[in-house]
Structure 1
Amino acid sequence: MTTTDVRPTDVETLMAAARSAVPVLAANAGRAERDRRLPAESTAALRDAGAFALATPTRFGGLDADLPTTVRVISELGRGCPSSAWLVAVSAEAQPAFAPLMSEEVLAEFYADPDTRLCGAGNPPGRGRRVAGGVRVSGRWPYASGCEDAPWAITLAMVGDGEGPPEFAFLLTPTSDLDIARTWDTAGMRGTGSHTLVADDVFVPQARVLPLPTGPNGAPDPFAGRPARPLGGGVTLLAALVGAARGALDVAGSTLHERKPPMTQYDNLAASPGARHWFAEATHLIESAQHDLLVLAAEIDRLMAGPTLADRDTTTLRMRLNSLVQRCQEGVNLLLDLNGASSFAADNPLQRFWRDLHVGSRHVQFNPYLALENHAGLLATARPTQEAR
């Protein structure tokens, strides 16, 4: 699916396409988990739904969707398979983060396929040495989500010429030029295939060596002049987690009139006032998280247009991101309580949504104690306003 503009009517068409992909993703979620990689059927469904073209500029045949549209689509896809939604989110957040560092020549190469995908990792940085026409790099970069299928990878390296001090640079490399160590073996989000990229003296042409901009203090800062961009990435990944919670709600809701509460005379959960209240609380937590996700996306989308962002705004928005994560976790935990030990049967998708949610929410974007530490530090050192005295 491509378009020259994402108008309101197109957004609804895009959402309909995402909804049509959900049954395919759900049917293949177990296989994705076993293989630690998306099956071809899931990848094809995502491509057909336009998911991989969300961040592609219209001049290259993509959708260039705004942030609220992007998170709506990703959250919908997460109802079927959070790993699939996560991979869409990773590429959708990475492309606008790094495309501004690319030349027109490199952009044309990168977007030759409007459904292109980008994976990558930064830490630990690799080691690069300047040679005629480019850089030769070696390194290992773990947690590169989707690296077995994404055609492009972005990695961080310390690049030097043997004379002056080395400098940080991003390297844009076809994944076919790299090796992949299948190191991703986790309790959840297994289908993301977040394995380790490996380079052993790989040549990267100079055009694809992307120097880092510098911030006001002179230190390397890939988001110099774009301080809200990392928050845009955070809310994009958050959409996959909210989608996981919505998927769990779908599963639990489908059994409400079928499951019988243990050791009671109720015919089903829906007949139990306690079960109804428990389900209502879980529904409220998850549906309100979805609502506030879209509100937050619209707010961050507006902020990304500006060259500055106050520290207080940054920490406040981080706290709001984490609040939505916690709401989803609480809601899904209630659903597990409601469904009991059978929730953890290997063939019950409820436990996969739970595991995917809890592993995905441990991403660095959602570090709760550091978000709270930074926000509390600002509040403690802020001068009171005249009105507050």
Structure 2
Amino acid sequence: MVNKVLSTVRDLLPKIAARAQKVDDSRKISERTIRELSEAGVFSMLAPKRYGGAESDPVHFYEVIRAISAACGSTGWVASVVGVHPWHLALFDDRAQDDVWGEDQTTLISSAYAPVGRLTAVDGGYELSGQWGFSSGCDHASWALLGAMVVGVDGRPVDFMTVLVPRTDYEIRDVWDVVGMRGTASNEIVVKNAFVPEHRLKRNYETAQLSGPGQAVNPGPLYKLPFGSIFTSTVAAPCVGIVAGCYEGYLDVMRERVRLSLGGGRFSEDQFAQVAVARASSEIDAAILQMDRNIREMYELAVAGQELPLSMRLRARRDQVRATERSVEAIDMLFKTAGGNSLSRGNPIERAWRDVHAGSVHVANEPERALALYGRAAFGLPVEDNLI
């Protein structure tokens, strides 16, 4: 099946690329770009059909994200993270979905999943307070998915939840001024004593078990996939896309470059440069092939109504963090061999280098924990983690 959204997005890429420096300088993506991506169908690719979504094969979604990220890392990151939230919301109670999409099916959602919020039981639901960092694209969203823990009468946590909160119940603090992914506007969200009805809460344990009340109204295979595979791939795909785009730009520039030192000569004829290009391209290909294979095989099993084995979920997590590591390795090779010209601010290689390194520090891209989980299972030891 042809990825129709990708075809539409490709027409937008020159404009997105032309805006990339302004996005980096201003620390935000324009409303115009968000509107264009929305009209192209990017944010509805993983949304339920009954709310105007496409319920796309997730491999197609990540293909679109890589293409956008190749043009502008920050735009690709926000498109990916905001674009995955309809998938998560589809697992919630039907009433929560209607709260968000009942009047406007284009409504966007941001997130901050770290369980730093505090939920206290009250009549009819819970009271929520907390402060969350790193909510990418929150300025464009009308709702937020926030991580929180339910506390008992003794003040100790008794359960971990994801909470759906409307924009009217939280404050956004503009604190995002960082080295890379500058345009994601991943600002802080603050909630003070907001009431949350029970239908807007979802247990993280339940999500890890591949279940949720939303599956009763959204029975498609897309909503039988693991959060630990879908969301983590969402923060790896932009990194892969950024370096893939940088690689193509690198070849265009360096193919005709002539060195004025080290004996001169065409850069493209330098054997060390040729080896660096080969290594970088291999890392990019490996990252894409492994991630797409894993998500495709999971989706095919879900379509067939078959169980997703733990070994497959662990492999997907393994390859997802390795994809991010491969992206860092590839961008470092390109940055290093590009020479002093890559150091100037505004150089696409310099911006890509900053963006990939910034994206790699997201907790879901941290490799050691995910790789250790795979290793535990390989040795026959028990494995339990919410991001599998």
TM-score by length of 1: 0.84
Aligned alpha-carbon RMSD (Å):
2.8
Cα displacement (A) at 1:160: 6.3
Aligned partner of 2:133 in structure 1 is 142
Alignment partner of 2:207 out of 202, 207, 222: 222
Q: How does 1:254-333 map to 2 (within 5 A)?
A: 254-264=252-262, 266=264, 268-302=266-300, 309-333=308-332
Q: How does 1:58-77 map to 2 (within 5 A)?
A: 58-77=49-68
Cα displacement (A) at 1:159: 4.5
Deviates more, 1:340-349 or 1:46-55: 46-55
Cα displacement (A) at 1:346: 0.3
Q: C-alpha distance in 2, partners of 1:337/1:164?
A: 51
Q: Is the alpha carbon distance of 1:122 and 1:290 closer, same or farther for their aligned partners in structure 2, counting shifts above 3 Å? A: closer
Aligned partner of 1:216 in structure 2 is none
Q: Deviations over 1:168-215 (max 9, x none)?
A: 44321222331012232322112111111101122334443x2427xx
SS across alignment from 1:180: strand
Q: Is the alpha carbon distance of 1:59 and 1:286 closer, same or farther for their aligned partners in structure 2, counting shifts above 3 Å? A: same
Aligned partner of 2:97 in structure 1 is 107
Alignment check: 8 A CA contact 1:266 1:272 kept: no
Aligned partner of 2:342 in structure 1 is 343
Q: Is the alpha carbon distance of 1:135 and 1:228 closer, same or farther for their aligned partners in structure 2, counting shifts above 3 Å? A: closer
Cα displacement (A) at 1:132: 4.8
Q: C-alpha distance in 2, partners of 1:281/1:264?
A: 23
Cα displacement (A) at 1:80: 0.8
Aligned partner of 2:245 in structure 1 is 247
Q: Deviations over 1:35-68 (max 9, x none)?
A: 3221223213322322111112222112221111
SS across alignment from 2:338: helix
Q: C-alpha distance in 1, partners of 2:291/2:378?
A: 24
Cα displacement (A) at 1:261: 2.6
Cα displacement (A) at 1:264: 4.5
Q: C-alpha distance in 1, partners of 2:375/2:149?
A: 34
Aligned residue identity for 2:177: D
Aligned residue identity for 2:68: L
SS across alignment from 2:126: strand
Alignment check: 8 A CA contact 1:78 1:85 kept: yes
Total equivalences in the alignment: 366
Aligned partner of 2:73 in structure 1 is 82
Alignment partner of 1:194 out of 180, 186, 201: 186
Alignment check: 8 A CA contact 1:228 1:304 kept: no
Cα displacement (A) at 1:140: 0.7
SS across alignment from 1:337: helix
Q: Is the alpha carbon distance of 1:211 and 1:242 closer, same or farther for their aligned partners in structure 2, counting shifts above 3 Å? A: closer
Aligned residue identity for 2:58: L
Q: C-alpha distance in 2, partners of 1:347/1:356?
A: 12
Q: Deviations over 1:62-83 (max 9, x none)?
A: 2221111111111111101121
Cα displacement (A) at 1:154: 1.3
Aligned partner of 1:46 in structure 2 is 37
Aligned partner of 1:35 in structure 2 is 26
SS across alignment from 2:162: strand
SS across alignment from 1:346: coil
Q: Deviations over 1:14-45 (max 9, x none)?
A: 21212122222222222222332212232133
Q: C-alpha distance in 1, partners of 2:77/2:310?
A: 28
Q: C-alpha distance in 1, partners of 2:334/2:358?
A: 18
Q: C-alpha distance in 2, partners of 1:375/1:230?
A: 13
Q: C-alpha distance in 2, partners of 1:287/1:160?
A: 46
The sequence identity of aligned pairs, in percent, is: 27
Q: C-alpha distance in 1, partners of 2:306/2:113?
A: 24
Aligned residue identity for 2:195: F
SS across alignment from 2:55: coil
Deviates more, 1:193-202 or 1:155-164: 155-164
Q: Indicate yes or no: 2:368 matched with 1:372.
A: no
Aligned residue identity for 1:370: R
Q: C-alpha distance in 1, partners of 2:319/2:269?
A: 36
Aligned residue identity for 2:334: L
Aligned partner of 2:46 in structure 1 is 55
Alignment partner of 2:235 out of 232, 237, 262: 237
Cα displacement (A) at 1:303: 5.0
Q: Is the alpha carbon distance of 1:122 and 1:278 closer, same or farther for their aligned partners in structure 2, counting shifts above 3 Å? A: closer
Q: C-alpha distance in 2, partners of 1:156/1:322?
A: 22
Aligned partner of 1:386 in structure 2 is none
SS across alignment from 2:54: coil
Deviates more, 1:187-196 or 1:94-103: 94-103
Gaps of 5+ in 2: 212-224, 383-388
Alignment check: 8 A CA contact 2:47 2:90 kept: no
SS across alignment from 1:135: strand
SS across alignment from 1:222: helix
Aligned residue identity for 2:9: A
Q: Deviations over 1:312-368 (max 9, x none)?
A: 433333222222222222222221122112212102011111111111122222221
Q: How does 1:94-173 map to 2 (within 5 A)?
A: 94-103=85-94, 105-111=95-101, 112-159=103-150, 167-173=159-165
Aligned partner of 1:3 in structure 2 is none
